[in-house]
Amino acid sequence: MVTRTPGANQGAEKLTPTKHQNVLSWASDVEAGTIEQAKKAARLPFVHGHVALMPDAHIGKGATVGSVIATKAAVIPAAVGVDIGCGMMAVETDLTPERLPDTLGPLLSKIAEAVPAGVGQGHEVATRHWSAWLNARFNGRARPELTDKEAAKASTQFGSLGSGNHFVEVCLDERQRVWLVLHSGSRGVGNMLASRHIEDAKGLMKRYFIELEDPDLAYLVEGTPEFDSYIKAMLWAQEYAMENRAAMVAAALPALFDVSGGGSVVRTVNCHHNFTERENHHGRNVWLTRKGAIRARTGDEGVIPGSMGTRSYIVRGLGNPASYQSCSHGAGRRLSRGQARRQLDVEGFRESMKGKTWLDERAADLLDEDPRSYKDIDQVMEDQRDLVEIQHTLTQILNYKGL
């Protein structure tokens, strides 16, 4: 948990993250199992320094969701995860509520038509956005070797949302400015690439008789063909994810501007929260993996969403070295999807979404996304006020989520 001590500035409190062996935690609401899982990653011999645990942390596959791991000459594919480059994009517009129609149902339908969503869903054929990105970003550059199935997924799912907690939202900030906010990643091709390399890493552990506390912490060592192959695929999938978000925004904004009689973009923020990059921390070049965490160097802008029924935040990083210049990626789950379906009720779900335009007729299918299955986003933000400062607070008025 996070402890608070009186600070020097007129009685203000100073946050002190809690140390659990080689894990430094900013979470005041965290299960013991989450801490124990993070300790397993921290005990790997190539981990540099401590594992930083963000205030939204919860148990994940292999590595903890909401963890930041610095590694020397090695990477853990499962720590990046199967949705490589998953992240957020937020667009501030010059619109105000007066420009929006009285009912947002037609806008929800227009966004659903422009942005395919759901398990395995994409476009029937590759879009112009895909061709433009592929030619502009990778013409003449090395790309990972894709199987025919991976290439087909990549082309038809570019510009699509996916399912689970991926969403498109229309929000109002504290100034009554309209924002378009989107959460998605590298879709099926990222999953396929990640899964392939996770299995390769596990195979190497068996070949060299390396025993791990958790087999999903299997790693690849820098300087090997397997490492090079994964890094190439992972970096490509990260860029795919970022451009995928941009393509969906480019498709959804015309729908918003159509119902409001026009409008323009003021600024955009596009950030990953499942990725690894080469960075320098505490005097050493490392592979810095953020699994469910965003980069928060001094001045970095980021997007931290709550659940579909609560607030989201546009933030600016404070560059805290103890967190490896990172912060949380959202509210973090309190209940697993299975627990949410067993413990929560549709009536309570609808009550928590009152006043918002959403797929309420599909409430039973979306029950595992009930806001009650997530942690308190305001507590999460309080726990990390030494990591980021809030620029804008966003309140959702429309939510579109894949099934």
254's tokens: 């015309």
Kindly calculate the radius of gyration of the chain based on its CA atoms and give it in whole angstroms. 21
CA–CA gap between residue 141 and residue 229 (Å, rounded): 15
- CB under 8 A, 24+ apart: contacts of 235-239: 236/138, 236/143, 236/144, 237/84, 237/85, 237/186, 237/189, 237/190, 237/193, 237/194, 238/84, 238/85, 238/186, 238/272, 238/275, 239/85, 239/137
Sign (positive or negative) of CA dihedral 126, 129, 131, 133:
negative
Q: Report the Cα–Cα distance between both ends of the chain, in Å, rounded.
A: 34
382's tokens: 């309080």
Beginning with the edge strand found earlier in the chain, give each strand of the sheet holding 274-281 in spatial order.
Answer: 18-20, 23-25, 51-58, 65-71, 284-291, 274-281
52's tokens: 């930083």
With CA atoms as reference, report the closest residue to 234 among 270, 278, 275, 203. 275
Residues with a catalytic annotation lie at 329
Could you tell me whether strands 293-295 and 301-304 are parallel, antiparallel, or unpaired per DSSP bridges? unpaired
| Angle between helix 225-259 and helix 187-207 axes, rounded to 10 deg | 160
120's tokens: 């395995």
CA–CA gap between residue 30 and residue 376 (Å, rounded): 12
